[in-house]
Structure 1
Amino acid sequence: MRILIAVAPLTAHLYPSIPLAWALQSAGHEVRVASNTGLVEQITAAGLTAVGLGERTSPPPPITDGELDRFSDALGFEAGSDSDQLWRATRYYMVAACKRYHPDEEGRQELTDNLVEAARNWQPDLVIWDPACPAGSVAARECGAASARMMWGPDYFGWVRRRLVERMNDPASPVSADTDPLAATLAPVFGRFGHEFSDELLFGDFTVDPIPSQLPRPEGLRRVPMRWVPYTGAAPVPQWLSQPPSRPRVCLSLGVTGRTVHDGPDARVMAAFEAVADMEIEVVATVNADQLGEGARVPDNVRIFDYIPLTQVMPTCSAVIHHGGFGTFFAAAAHRVPQMIVMEELGSALNSTRYLEARGAGVVLPGDGLTAAQVRGELSRMLTQASFQRGAAAVYADMTAAPCPSEIVPVLERMAAQYRTRD
């Protein structure tokens, strides 16, 4: 069987798919991973065959206030509510993801066109695609392959579609099929090859879902549960990391993707550094120069790394402070590490924070206005109260209850045969 995996040009979207790609490849299937040229090196470094799609030669169309207003009006979320928080995250991730695959003013869209051409030429039996890469759904349709989404975090498209359908069924709602903002946003992607918006194109034939069942998700979609196996890149293990820490070790990470969103020094880093400076702990901070800013004071008990694989650091840690991204969340969960999520408005933490607290596996602090006293107080509790270790063990049990990637390979084989439309 031939499997084409298509991902948006973000490391946090590529990494969750790599263990599944390995499992499929190890089972004897041909696997190719397609994305922008910027990810080709990371794909091949993971031992996988890359399909470089090039890069946009022009910036994507801007997200207009009118588009956002249409979404906001159609969804009918109340300002300040949980739904409003979800909407603020959706507007940046979902709408921006669609725009990446819109044609420019001259009708060019290299990423979509190259992906569809690669699928037509290679004729895969199954296309597994990142929800933030809706062109993957078009590629599957164009080559007659079975079509599967691969989740990397919250199902924004699923939540929004469910909400819009509810509103369309309400006679008092201003939204209808003719004014559906999601259909309008995806029309330039789906319509490029003559396809009309549909749930089949939006969601594929089924969804490979590595998110534990205890976390909320939209109902009514065909899902294949899979254990999240953390992959965070590879690098030689530093000699100091081979030795057990002499005092509690804490990891501080605000994610790789966040570096492309936030410019300048990160106040959360400064608050954390001030908090830990007089604590009897060791901190491994994966932050870069921009996040630190010029003249930043780094305490003596803090090691700074631009990048180090979290899967190397986590087994030695007693706690982790992070932004709430699912890659970091599950890297910590896989090693039963209690977590402090310093929540940001745009992050996927909207789904994971309540789950973390309900399991007693960590604490959640607002990133806006974060103080050193808050970090110090909560971190001290996490390091001294055994309940957090029990909570982290419960999260680990939830995570490992799902089948590992190799165990779902036969399921994917059957479903590819079932949904493939090409003889």
Structure 2
Amino acid sequence: MRVLFATNPHKSIFQYMAPLTWALRTAGHEVRFASQPAFTPTLTQAGLTAVPVGRRQNPFRMLDFVDPEVIAASRVGLPTPWDVTQDPERATWDHLRDGYELAVGSLREDNFPMIADLVEFARQWRPDLVLWEPFAYAGAIAATAVGAAHARLLFGIDVFGVARGHFLRRRAERPAERCTDPMADWLGGYARKYGGEFSEAMVSGHFTVDQFPRSLQVEAPELDYVRCQFIPYGGPATVPKWLWQAPEKPRVALTMGLTATDVYDSYTVNTQEVLDALADLDIELVATIADAEKARLRRVPDNARLVPYVPIHHLAPTCSAFIHHAGAATLATVARHPVPHLSLHYHWDQPILARKLTAHGAGLDLHTSRATGQAVRTAVQRLLTEPQFTARAAALRDETLALPTPNQLVPRLEELTARHRATPA
């Protein structure tokens, strides 16, 4: 079958999608990957066939025109309407309606550059299945235009599906003449433009591919989820020689993610304070610190190794504990090993993932507003000395590895494509 992937030009999101593209290719299916032209090198670097669509657009360009206080507020938690996943009490009709009106404005800006070209390509190539990440509604629009089966490919907590479920339930409680649906209005306009009609699948897909174990996920009961293992992919990387051998002391890793310095201006914790607090512990601390952040440090402890980047899927198996920002990819990579976590979470779905991890018993969490050097030190000491954390991390590892691999998921995708596809095989 022919499978078309679609993403906005977000490198971190694309990296969640790449392993499944290769699983489909090695199963003999034709695969194309569509995004904006400037993103083509990232796609082809992964060995994929790119389909440049639309025009170049910086996905973070709007930050240049927004009040810094608004940006700061949005980074603290999920923007509406997706914040109801953290706080269901906020799931009122007014909050959800207003939230979707705001969200649609942003989604429209992100997707508009790709839609026309993506539909044109889909009409020429006739994909059987379209897989799109939850911000790339252009994929749902193109799939609807050609009658292809289509699905969301999640890159973290399904805040999108959960919020939509709350919205639909609140809408059903209201008189029809007093209901508005910004998502249906926006997506339905494109459906009719290309000869179809709006369906709820345009918002959430015919089904959803989830790469996280159920114990770490939040689900919308109305949706059909299929699960597979998260397989780490971070682009080009090398294994440094110091990582070839097992560490002589307990190794503790520290990473706060690439986006913190690629998109924003710094980390959300005081790196110097954390390094100082861990300086006298009998450990080997491996900290991935961007060069720009490293230049701000006044001192580096003797027990710390600072590197700008190291492949986490090679580093994690050598660690006795792992400190991270609860970014979904980092957390899921570490979860493939019996390594306890300390999650220093800040925004988006990080607090949800971190608290679920703690509830599972596989680690501890601190919001960055409470992540003082002493608090981090205390938590690390607990992870290293209290064996229940490693035991629960091993249980999470077992749950993760019990899921189908992307290759094992392919037959299920073939089955679901045949069920939902409106076009002939």
Q: TM-score range by the shorter chain?
A: 0.7 to 0.9
1:86-143 deviation line (CA, Å, top 9, x unaligned): xxxx99x998875555259xxx932222322332222211100101111110111122
Is the 1:60–1:100 Cα contact (8 Å) retained in structure 2? Answer: no
Q: d(CA) in 1 for partners of 2:391 and 2:262? A: 35
1:340-419 to 2 correspondences below 5 Å: 340-344=342-346, 346-419=347-420
2:49 aligned partner:
49
The change in CA–CA distance for 1:37 and 1:270 in structure 2 (over 3 A counts) is farther
**Residue identity in the other structure for 1:391:** R
Is the 1:98–1:133 Cα contact (8 Å) retained in structure 2? Answer: no
- Which of 327, 330, 352 in structure 2 is aligned with 1:328? 330
2:288 aligned partner:
286
Unaligned runs of 5+ in 2: none
2:212 aligned partner:
211
Q: d(CA) in 1 for partners of 2:278 and 2:363? A: 17
Q: d(CA) in 2 for partners of 1:162 and 1:367? A: 30
Indicate the SS of the match to 1:237. Answer: coil
Is the 1:265–1:290 Cα contact (8 Å) retained in structure 2? Answer: no
Is the 1:125–1:416 Cα contact (8 Å) retained in structure 2? Answer: yes
- Mapped pair 1:31 → 2:34: no
Indicate the SS of the match to 1:179. Answer: coil
The change in CA–CA distance for 1:189 and 1:56 in structure 2 (over 3 A counts) is farther
In the TM superposition, residue 359 of structure 1 has moved relative to its aligned partner by 2.2
Is the 1:43–1:50 Cα contact (8 Å) retained in structure 2? Answer: yes
**Residue identity in the other structure for 1:249:** R
The change in CA–CA distance for 1:143 and 1:320 in structure 2 (over 3 A counts) is same
- Mapped pair 1:10 → 2:10: yes
Q: d(CA) in 1 for partners of 2:372 and 2:245? A: 32
**Residue identity in the other structure for 1:317:** C
Is the 1:359–1:394 Cα contact (8 Å) retained in structure 2? Answer: no
- Mapped pair 1:137 → 2:140: yes
Indicate the SS of the match to 1:393. Answer: helix
Q: CA RMSD in A?
A: 3.5
Is the 1:115–1:139 Cα contact (8 Å) retained in structure 2? Answer: yes
Is the 1:34–1:115 Cα contact (8 Å) retained in structure 2? Answer: yes
**TM-score, normalised relative to structure 1:** 0.84
The change in CA–CA distance for 1:276 and 1:300 in structure 2 (over 3 A counts) is same
Q: d(CA) in 1 for partners of 2:149 and 2:87? A: 38
**TM-score, normalised relative to structure 2:** 0.84
Indicate the SS of the match to 2:118. Answer: helix
1:231 aligned partner:
233
**Residue identity in the other structure for 1:396:** R
In the TM superposition, residue 149 of structure 1 has moved relative to its aligned partner by 1.0
In the TM superposition, residue 370 of structure 1 has moved relative to its aligned partner by 2.0
The change in CA–CA distance for 1:321 and 1:138 in structure 2 (over 3 A counts) is same
2:119 aligned partner:
116
Overall identity of the aligned pairs, in %: 36
Q: d(CA) in 1 for partners of 2:226 and 2:112? A: 32
Q: d(CA) in 2 for partners of 1:34 and 1:360? A: 40
**Residue identity in the other structure for 2:299:** R
1:30-56 deviation line (CA, Å, top 9, x unaligned): 112222344433322322222233422
Is the 1:3–1:124 Cα contact (8 Å) retained in structure 2? Answer: yes
**Residue identity in the other structure for 1:163:** H
Deviates more, 1:203-212 or 1:36-45: 36-45
Is the 1:271–1:375 Cα contact (8 Å) retained in structure 2? Answer: no
Q: d(CA) in 2 for partners of 1:330 and 1:217? A: 17
1:102 aligned partner:
108
Unaligned runs of 5+ in 1: none
Q: d(CA) in 1 for partners of 2:25 and 2:265? A: 38
The change in CA–CA distance for 1:94 and 1:360 in structure 2 (over 3 A counts) is farther
Indicate the SS of the match to 1:334. Answer: coil
1:133-184 deviation line (CA, Å, top 9, x unaligned): 1111011112221111111111122111111122223349xx9773334446
